[in-house]
Amino acid sequence: MDDFAQASAVENVTCPFCGLLCDDLTVERDTAGALRVGKNGCSRSITFFERGTPPLLPRLGGEDASLQDAIAGAAEFLRRAHHPLIAGLGTEVQGMRAVTSLADKLGATIDHMHSKGFMRNLLVVQNSGWLTTTLTEVRNRVDLLVIIGTDVVSLLPRFFERVVWNRDSLFGQDTAQREIVYLGGQNIDTTAGIAPDGRKPEVLPCEPERLPEVAAALRALVAGKKLAATEIAGIATTALEKLAERLKTARYSVFTWSARAMDFPHAELTVQNITETIKILNQTTRSSGLPLGGNDGDVSINQVSAWISGYPVRTSYGSGHPEYDPYHFSTDRLIDRGEADVLVWISTFDPGRIPPATNLPTIVLGHPGMKFDQEPDIFIPVGVPGMDHRGVLFRMDGVVALPIDRLRSSTLPSLGEVLAAIEQAL
Amino acid sequence: MLLKLTGGTVYDPAHGIDGQVMDIYVRDGRIVDRPREGERIDQEYDLTGKVVMAGAIDMHTHIGGGKVNIARTLLPEDHRGDPVDHTELTRAGCGHVAPSTLTTGYRYAEMGYTAGFEPAVLPLNARQAHLEMGDTPIIDKGGYVMLGNDDLFLRMLAAQKDQNAINDYVAWIIHATQAMGIKVVNAGGISAFKFNQRMLDLDEKNAYYQVTPRQVLKTLARAVYELGVPHPLHVHGNNLGVPGNVETTLNTIAGVEGYPLHLTHIQFHSYGTEGDRKFSSGAARIAEAINRNKHVSADVGQILFGQTVTASGDNMSQFRNAGHAHPDKWICMDIECDAGCGVVPFKYKDQNFVNALQWAIGLEIFLLVEDPWRIFLTTDHPNGAPFTSYPHLIRLLMDKTFRNEIFSRIHPDAQKMSTLASIDREYSLYEIAIMTRAGAARLVGLHDRGHLGVGAAADITVYTDDPDREKMFAKPDYVFKDGELVVRNGKVVKVTWGATHAVKPEFDRGIEKEIAKYFDTYHTVKMDHVKVTEQHIAEDGRNHVIVQACKGRRERTA
């Protein structure tokens, strides 16, 4: 057992702060419990691990309160509520298990802060399905990586280091020769796509909201159709034709995209054009999708929700059984239309993820560093999973789930403990 | 706490008891011989006229892990047809083809089942499988972990590594994933698909490793045997669903040179190519081979008509069959240089020639295999049908009139291609108790389950003897789990959480050095983080691991 009062350097720490779940970090702890990232850090892990978490009391109506009083207050709000909304859901597996238990008991609706983007992928899964792959496959097989409308690295800083420019691979590939294509988007930082030998990636930019045209054109070309247009959203048709040919001759191409970045109406149809392109390619060669995500526990909480209820989030327990509706049960809609009457907002990893502005009674269970524009009725600071207590997180690919560890002593309760206490107090 | 179950008619094949009226005593969750001198009976159940068996064991059911959760996510429309309400006692969820974990546990218990084994735990996804099984109430759980498409094993095989080294790796995987056995799915084929091969027959070489499925199967069957793991190598054959695959299956039986072998969902691997439509029943040949080869067992993977979803590690086959998806959506995944998965919804129709014949082939196999200790009742849930259809399936086996009536309504050309109507056999209650209890426990390696002898865990199911066997098996009067009454009149009355069974074969831990280096060099996780520990499983505060004995590691052979 670790003695958390001692200064120490903990090796092979799993970082919970993005969907890559790198598990090779060294994190140093001083006697006061402050953490510093040593080996294998990145901009994101340094920001998150090294952020101060001052000891903090819960607040009731803006005034310091005991944990017991805050829990009793939260239970009181929830007991009176007809339609509680539990949103944000920035948590890990064990926290989410407690969320589903409470939601079941309360008849609450649950939604995640990143659902808007996540749903763009999910609607495609539930409409036509897809072919996808996982990080270790990419690391060992990808020969052509098509990155659509994102730089990848602002979400997942070590992506290229971990799975693209790795030196060793299993099947005799010269990984430095991997081809990278950035398709769509404007002013995207493509430096991470430069090969170790200095070879530059191919960049085919377009305005972000014109990505639908580009994705549709690429699908048509891969399907063998001829296009009359000479350019699509500013990209020469010949360049797309060349890309289509390269995809057909590649042995294991991978498409990656950030559904969150596709912020235009019906972006799910663009995701679908990508995933259907992959299906066509697999008639003759191998190709796979690698949707980006996993931050703030979005993959984890949807996994838990699916096994507990049968549905991902945007699910309501209001009628006694789970009902799923990706449109009606969105946080924004339930708040805007006044359908929810209490908001429980959860963000345990990121203090920047504060609740949306609302007149609803609001209970926040979150990172102790949270700063509010509008003081919630109740704020209960909880531990950060993977720093203050143990937990389990799913990686972006939804396959690998890793334990995240406690790194220091903490007086903060875990989200699961607080939710269980609230459930008990109802 | 002492219970007395009085005067029931007991079927306990492990002890040769075939419908004998007797009393059973249960103290603190275990079956005991009789009360101690002066010991008070705390509760008595009068079971006069009732049928008493051990709790049923589903030895192959997809209840947890990545592909099951993908199936759930894929099919909200199916869940909507079977909503499950929150009650005072139980939590909300949903049922039908890919039920929520909570509903899965409740419904298994309500059918008299007290254990279910997830047959396709991927090493790199084992944590998820255990998390889901941990949220499956009442029943006991366990898993078979998949090998034979993972890069490290294929690499060892290609390098002609010593069998002892392979055995150490296999044992390490069992420990790291808290498994009950080893499963191989489309041996080498899932890997071959990643190199763009679309079929892989038993003696065809994987394009990269240059090893054949036959080598994979023989090496793994031998490893499992030499490690003393009670459950034989669990094999999902190559060429699933392909007409003519009966030859592959027969060659697979011959190919393991006498090592114990369990062929799973064998119905899907028993197809010939006769007739106008080049699709015929290979059931007679398969049954004959099982009857003759005492080292072989099988579960059927019966299909039943209606909507379901197929969830499999075999993405090579699932991709091939994706055109049949109903509704038209499907998912395939390559996974971690380790495995794969494919999820394809299916609707089996009695007026579709192929589906109708698949239905008949499954039943032919059930009825032509002579030894009920070596054939097991499964639908490969949910691939052939959801597990909730087991009572219907039991009636098909026990009631010839009922069976023939349905047979007379299936596609007429399928009727012409099947001998089903000429088979008179009806399973007895004793035989049903073998295939769903005593035999299943023996096959899986659950030494203290599946029987009602002294010392056994008191997992006990009590039925009303009804000539309508579907009705009888759908709604037991009582189900006891570890001595606690959990179901009365087919409804959950108490929610318990069961346990997870695992085996721990001995091995040389020196192998970890090599595995750790391999993970560091080629993978995206550390070896130590792959491991699922007993503590992880117990972390939810409800579940725990029960270690079942590996009886006798065999002498290593040179």
pLDDT in tens, B161-192: 999 999 999 999 999 999 999 999 999 999 99
CB within 8 Å of chain B, chain A residues 337-366: none
Tell me, yes or no, whether B191 lies in a domain: yes
Q: What is the mean pLDDT of residues A269-276?
A: 98
- The interface predicted TM-score (ipTM) is 0.97
Q: Residue A30: inside a domain, yes or no? A: no
Residues in contact with B221: Cβ distance below 8 Å, sequence separation at least 6, in sequence order: B232, B233, B256, B259, B260, B261
d(CA B8, CA B173): 43
Provide mean pLDDT across the span B348-353: 98
Q: Is the residue at B7 inside a domain?
A: no
Distance CA A330, CA A109 (A): 9
- B551 pLDDT band, cuts 50/70/90, is confident
Q: Are residues A159 and A283 in the same domain?
A: yes
Range of the domain at B347: 54-492
For A324, the closest of B76, B337, B536 (CB atoms) is B76
Q: In angstroms, rounded to a whole number, what is the distance separating the alpha carbons of residues B248 and B235? A: 12
B135 closest CB neighbour out of A307, A321, A390 = A307
Distance (Å, whole) CA B542 – CA B496: 9
In a domain, A36, yes or no: no
Among the listed residues B237, B226, B213, B233, the one whose alpha carbon sits nearest the alpha carbon of residue B154 = B213
Give B358's pLDDT tier (boundaries 50, 70, 90). Answer: very high
Beta-carbon-side half-sphere exposure of residue A411 (alpha carbons within 13 Å): 11
Q: Which of B127, B524, B527 would best serve as a mutation to test chain A binding (most A beta carbons within 10 A)?
A: B524
Residue closest to B411 by CA, chosen among B485, B474, B348, B363: B348
Separation CA B453–CA B451 (nearest Å) = 6
Residue A65 belongs to some domain of the structure = yes
- Residue ending a domain, choose from A237, A262, A292: A292
The answer for A 311-340 residues in CB contact with B (under 8 A) is 311-312, 317, 320-324
Given a contact cutoff of 8 angstroms between Cβ atoms, the answer to whether A368 and A352 are in contact is no
N- to C-terminal Cα separation, chain B: 53
| Alpha carbons A41 and A24: distance in angstroms, whole number | 9
Is B40 inside a domain boundary?
no
- B552 in Cβ contact with B228 (< 8 Å): yes
Domain count of the fold of chain A: 2
Residue ranges making up the domain that contains A148: 130-292
Residue A14, phi then psi, degrees to nearest 5? -90, 125
Asked whether residue A398 is domain-assigned, the answer is no
Same domain, A258 and A367: no
Tell me whether residue B482 is in a domain.
yes
The number of distinct structural domains making up chain B is: 1
Look at residue B478 and tell me if it is in a domain: yes
Cβ-Cβ contacts under 8 Å, A15 against chain B: none
pLDDT above 70: residue B231: yes
Pair A248, A345 in one domain:
no
Are residue A286 and residue A301 in the same domain, yes or no?
Answer: no
Last residue of a domain, one of A292, A319, A337: A292
**Residue B482 CA from chain centroid, whole number:** 21
Instruction: Show residues of chain A in contact with B156, CB under 8 Å.
Output: none
How far is CA B65 from its chain centroid?
A: 14
CB atoms A136 and B338 under 8 Å: yes
Cβ-Cβ contacts under 8 Å, A324 against chain B: 76, 79
pLDDT band at B555 (very low <50, low <70, confident <90, very high): low
What does the pLDDT average to over B452-473? 98
For A349-377, give one letter per residue: b (16+ CB within 10 A) or e: bbbebbbbebebbbbbbbbbebeeeeebb
Instruction: Write the pLDDT tens digit of every residue in A241-268.
Output: 999 999 999 999 999 999 999 999 999 9
User: What is the structure's pLDDT at B47?
Assistant: 98
Give the CATH number of the domain where residue A256 resides: 3.40.228.10
> Which chain B residues have a beta carbon less than 8 Å from that of A322?
79, 83, 92-94, 100
The tokens 């049903």 sit on which residue? B432
Tell me whether residue A20 is in a domain.
Answer: no
Residue B556 lies in a domain: no
| Pair (A279, A241) in one structural domain | yes
**Chain B residues whose beta carbon lies within 8 Å of the beta carbon of residue A124:** none
**Other Cβ atoms within 10 Å of B51 Cβ, number:** 22
How many angstroms separate the CA atoms of B438 and B443, rounded? 9
B74:A126 CB<8 A: yes
Which tens digit of pLDDT belongs to each residue from A217-246? Answer: 999 999 999 999 999 999 999 999 999 999
Q: Å from A371 to nearest chain B CA?
A: 32
Q: What is each CA distance from B257 to B182, B183, B318, in whole angstroms?
A: 18, 18, 29
Identify whether residues A135 and A278 lie together within a single domain.
yes
Q: Does A220 touch chain B (CB under 8 A)?
A: no
Which pLDDT belongs to residue A192? 98
Q: Chain A 62-101, CB below 8 Å of chain B: which residues?
A: 93-94, 97, 101
- The model's pLDDT over A10-61, given as tens digits with 9 standing for 90+, comes to 999 999 999 999 999 999 999 989 999 999 999 999 999 999 877 789 999 9
User: Is the model's pLDDT at B557 over the cut of 60?
Assistant: no
CATH number at residue B474: 3.20.20.140
Which of B191, B331, B334 is best to mutate for the A interface (most A CBs within 10 A)? Answer: B334
Amino acid (1-letter code) at residue A307: W
Q: Are B127 and A402 in contact (CB < 8 Å)?
A: yes
Q: What percent of chain A has pLDDT over 70?
A: 99
**CB-CB neighbors (< 8 A) of B323 in chain A:** none
Which chain A positions have a beta carbon within 8 Å of B79's beta carbon?
310-311, 322, 324
Task: Write out chain B residues lying below 8 Å of A401, CB-based.
Answer: 125, 127-128, 131
The phi and psi torsions of B233 (rounded to 5 degrees) equal -55, 130
Are the beta carbons of A145 and A179 closer than 8 angstroms? yes
Which candidate in A399, A406, A424 is best for mutational testing of the B interface (most B CBs within 10 A)? A399
Residues A287 and A181 in one domain: yes
| DSSP track, B463-489 | EE--SSHHHHHHS-SEEEETTEEEEET
With a pLDDT cut of 90, the percent of chain A lying above it is 97
Higher confidence at residue B555 or residue B212?
B212
The residue of chain A with its CA nearest to that of B84 is A321
pLDDT at residue B552, as a whole number? 64
Asked if residue B532 belongs to a domain, the reply is no
The span from the CA of B213 to the CA of B202, in Å, is 5
Over range B426-436, report the average pLDDT: 98
What is each CA distance from A164 to A205, A274, B196, B517, B529, in whole angstroms? 21, 20, 21, 20, 22
Task: Examine the pLDDT at B558 and tell me if it is beyond 60.
Answer: no
Of the candidates A12, A170, A401, the beta carbon closest to that of B127 is on A401
Interface test with B, best of A123, A126, A127, A307 (most B CBs within 10 A): A307
Cα pseudo-dihedral B6, B8, B14, B18, rounded to 10: 140
Same domain assignment for residues A192 and A94: no
Mean pLDDT confidence for A137-141 = 98
CATH of residue A103: 3.40.50.740
Give the chain B residue nearest A304 (alpha carbons). B132
Which among B100, B195, B335 is the nearest to A308, CB-wise?
B100
Residue A1 has pLDDT above 80, yes or no: no
Task: Find, in chain B, the residue whose alpha carbon is nearest to that of A322.
Answer: B93
B357-382: average pLDDT: 98
The answer to whether the bond into A312 is cis (omega within 30° of 0) is: no
Nearest CA distance, B549 vs chain A (angstrom)? 28
- For residue B536, list chain A residues with Cβ-Cβ distance below 8 A: 403
A309 neighbourhood in chain B, CB within 8 Å: 92-94, 100
Structure confidence at residue A2 (pLDDT)? 66
Peptide bond into A265 cis (omega under 30): no
The predicted pLDDT at position B556 comes to: 59
pLDDT at A3: 78
Under DSSP, is residue A178 helix (H, G, I), strand (E, B) or coil?
Answer: coil
- Same domain? A105 vs A202: no
Q: Residue B553: which pLDDT band, with cuts at 50, 70 and 90?
A: low
CA B411 from centroid of its chain's CA atoms: 29
Min CA distance, B143 vs chain A (Å)? Answer: 17
Give me the pLDDT at residue A251, please.
Answer: 98
Using an 8 Å CB-CB cutoff, list chain A residues near B84.
Answer: 321
* Residue B420 pLDDT greater than 80, yes or no: yes
Tell me, yes or no, whether A267 and A284 share the same domain: yes
Condensed to tens digits (0 to 9), the pLDDT of residues B468-507 reads 999 999 999 999 999 999 999 999 999 999 999 999 999 9
- Do the Cβ atoms of A397 and A135 come closer than 8 Å? yes
DSSP-based three-state secondary structure for B126: helix
Residues 240-279 in A contacting B (C-alpha not used; CB under 8 Å):
251-252
Query: What is the b/e burial string over B1-23, where b = at least 16 CB atoms within 10 angstroms of the residue's CB?
Result: ebbbbbbbbbbbbbeebeeeeee
Contact B525 A129 (CB under 8 A): no
Tokens of A378: 């109740």
Domain co-membership, A86 together with A219? no
Final residue of a structural domain among A277, A292, A307:
A292
CA proximity to B269, closest of B311, B312, B291, B239: B239
Burial of B199 (0-12, 13-18, 19+ CB in 10 A): middle
Q: Are A319 and A283 in contact (CB under 8 A)?
A: no
pLDDT per residue as tens digits for the range A76-120: 999 999 999 999 999 999 999 999 999 999 999 999 999 999 999
Cα dihedral sign, B386-B387-B393-B397:
positive
A170 touches chain B (CB under 8 A): yes
pLDDT tens-digit readout, A348-403? 999 999 999 999 999 999 999 999 999 999 999 999 999 999 999 999 999 999 99
**How close are the terminal C-alpha atoms of chain A, in Å?**
35
DSSP string across B132-152: HHHTS-SSEEEEEEE-SSSHH
- Largest distance between two CA atoms of chain A: 70
Query: What average pLDDT does the segment B501-521 reach?
Result: 97
A190 and A269 co-located in one domain: yes
Nearest by Cα to A21 from A426, A391, A419: A391
Cβ atoms of B170 and B227 closer than 8 Å: yes
Give the rounded percent of residues in chain B with a pLDDT score beyond 90: 97
* CA dihedral (B100, B106, B109, B114) positive or negative: positive
